[in-house]
Amino acid sequence: MGKDKKGLILDTLRELFKEGKAGTASVSDIAARAGIAKGLIQSGGNALEKLALLMQSYRGSYVDSSLDEYLHMPQNAAIHQKSLAQILSALSGIISRIIEQGTVEGLFACDYPREYAEIIMAVFTFLLDPGIFPWGGDQYALKLKALADMLEKGLCADKGSFGFLYGAEDSFRKETK
Amino acid sequence: MGKDKKGLILDTLRELFKEGKAGTASVSDIAARAGIAKGLIQSGGNALEKLALLMQSYRGSYVDSSLDEYLHMPQNAAIHQKSLAQILSALSGIISRIIEQGTVEGLFACDYPREYAEIIMAVFTFLLDPGIFPWGGDQYALKLKALADMLEKGLCADKGSFGFLYGAEDSFRKETK
C-alpha cells in the first residue's frame, strides 16, 4: 500500500471516529463515511495489514483531548454512550469483513466474524475508554497484549501476528513488507 | 456443591448486581459484597462450575426490568455508566481468581487472567447490555456462542466447556456432576 493512500485512509478514519465521539454525526452520516472507509480498507493489503491500519487510526483519534474531556463530563454521558455504541456498530461491520478476508487468505479461521468484531470493539470502546477507566500506561499495554493473545488463539492466527496492537510493529512490518 | 449453598451464592450475587446497577452502592460496599461473593465462590467446585454459577446469577439479575428501564433513561446515563464500570471492576477480580484456579486444575492455560476477566466483563456489561444494544434473542445467543468459542480457544479449554454461556447446560452438568 502506498504512503499517500495510507495517509488518506488514516485521515478519513480519524474524521469518522471524531464525529462519532462528538455525537454530532447522524447514523447515516457515520454509515456513509464508514462506507468510504470500508472501500478504502478493502482496496489493498492483507487482513492483518488492514486491521493494523484501522487500530492505528482509532488510537490516533484520541489525540483530541478537549473533545474527550467534553464527552467525559457526567452531563454528557448519554451522548458519550450513544457515540460509543455508534462507533461499535459502524466499525464492527468493517472489521467483520476484514476477518472474512483473513479466512480466505488463510490467515484466520473463524465461524463468528461479526461477533468477534463486536467483542473487539466492546474492548476498545468501553474497557479502553480513558474517561470510563483511567488505566495507567502499563495496565493499558497489558490489556492490549491480552487481547492480541486472545485473538491470535481465537482466530487461529500465527503467534505474534496481532503484535501491532501493543506496539510490536517491527515484527508486523517484517511480515507485510 | 450443595443446593442450599448454591442458592445462597446466587442470592448474594444477585444483590450485588442489582445494587451495582442501581448506582446506589458505594465502591466499598460493592467491594465488601464482592468479598463475600468471592469467599463463597472460592469455597467449592471447579473453575468451570464457578464461572457457570457467576454467569447464571449475572443473567438472572436482569429480571428486574423496572430498574433496567430507570437506568436506561438518557438522564441516568452517567449513573448507568458508573454502575457498569463498578460491576466490571468488582467482578473482574473474582473471575480472574477463578481463571487462576482453572490453570492450577489443568482446565485452562492463561498468561493474562486479570485481563481476560476484564474482556469477558466488557462484553457482558457493554455489548450485552439490553438498554445500550437491543439485540434480538438469536443475535444475543450468537454473541454468547462466539464468546464461548473465543474463551475455549484463548484459555486452551476443552471444546464445549463454555457451553453454559449459551444454554448448552446439559453437557456442562455431565462434566461437573
**Shortest Cα–Cα distance, A123 to chain B (Å):** 6
Distances, alpha carbon A30 to alpha carbons A83, A86, B132, in Å: 10, 8, 18
Testing the interface with B: which of A150, A152, A159, A166 to mutate, by most B Cβ within 10 A? A150
The answer to whether B81 and A80 are in contact (CB under 8 A) is: yes
A81 neighbors B132 (Cβ within 8 angstroms): yes
Which chain B residue is nearest to residue A72, measuring alpha carbons?
B78
| Closest residue to B81, CB basis, from A77, A142, A150 | A77
> Taking CB atoms and an 8 Å cutoff, what residues of chain B touch A90?
none
Distance, in Å, from the CA atom of A114 to the CA atom of A77, rounded to the nearest integer, reads 27
Among B82, B119, B152, pick the best mutation site for testing chain A contact (most A Cβ within 10 A): B119
What residues of chain A lie within 8 A of the CB of B113, using their CB?
none
CA distance A88 to chain B (A): 9
- Measured between beta carbons, the chain B residues lying within 8 angstroms of A126 are 84, 122, 125-127
Task: Classify residue B111 as exposed, middle or buried by CB count within 10 Å of its CB (0-12, 13-18, 19+).
Answer: exposed
Contact by Cβ (8 Å): A12, A40: yes
How high is the pLDDT of residue A8? 65
Stretches in chain B below the pLDDT threshold 70:
1-41, 43, 59-71, 168-177
Look up residue B81 and give its three cell numbers.
455508566
**pLDDT of amino acid A77:** 77
Write the CB contacts of A91 (distance below 8 Å, at least 6 apart in sequence).
A34, A54, A58, A117, A121
pLDDT given for residue A72 in this prediction? 73
Rg, C-alpha atoms of chain A: 16
Residues in B touching A78 (Cβ below 8 Å): 74-75, 77-78
- In this predicted structure, what is the pLDDT of residue A61? 61
Q: Which of A118, A127, A132 sits opposite B81 (nearest CB)?
A: A132
Chain B residue closest to A111 (CA)? B146
Tell me the pLDDT band of A75, cut-offs 50, 70 and 90.
confident
pLDDT of A163: 95
pLDDT of residue B175: 42
Please list every residue in chain A whose beta carbon sits closer than 8 Å to the beta carbon of residue B78: 74-75, 77-78
Q: How many CB atoms lie within 10 A of CB A153?
A: 18
What percent of chain A stands above pLDDT 90? 39
Identify the closest residue of chain B to A83 by CA–CA distance.
B132
Task: Tell me the one-letter amino acid at A46.
Answer: N
- All residues of chain B having their beta carbon less than 8 Å from the beta carbon of residue A132 are 81, 85
Complex ipTM value: 0.81
pLDDT for A171 beyond 50: no
- All structural domains of chain A, each given as residue ranges with its CATH number in brackets, are 1-44 (1.10.10), 46-172 (1.10.357.10)
End-to-end Cα spacing for chain B: 9
Cα separation, A103 vs A100, in Å, equals 5
Collapsing DSSP to helix, strand or coil, B107 comes out as: coil
Per residue in A18-73, pLDDT (tens digit) is 666 555 555 445 555 556 566 666 768 899 998 988 887 777 665 455 666 766 77
- State residue A1's pLDDT score: 54
Chain B hits for A147, Cβ within 8 Å = 115, 119
Cell 457493554 locates to B126
Nearest CA in chain A to B150: A154
Per residue in A76-119, pLDDT (tens digit) is 777 778 778 888 888 898 899 999 999 999 999 999 999 999 99
User: Distance from A4 to chain B by nearest Cα, in Å?
Assistant: 35
pLDDT confidence of residue A55: 81
Query: For chain A, what is the mean pLDDT?
Result: 78
pTM (two decimals): 0.81
Given a cut of 70, is residue A129 above it in pLDDT? yes
Query: CB B171: neighbour CB atoms within 10 A?
Result: 11
CB contact under 8 A, A142 and B112: yes
Measured between CB atoms, which of A78, A122, A142 is closest to B74? A78
Does A115 sit within 8 Å of B146, measured CB to CB? Answer: yes
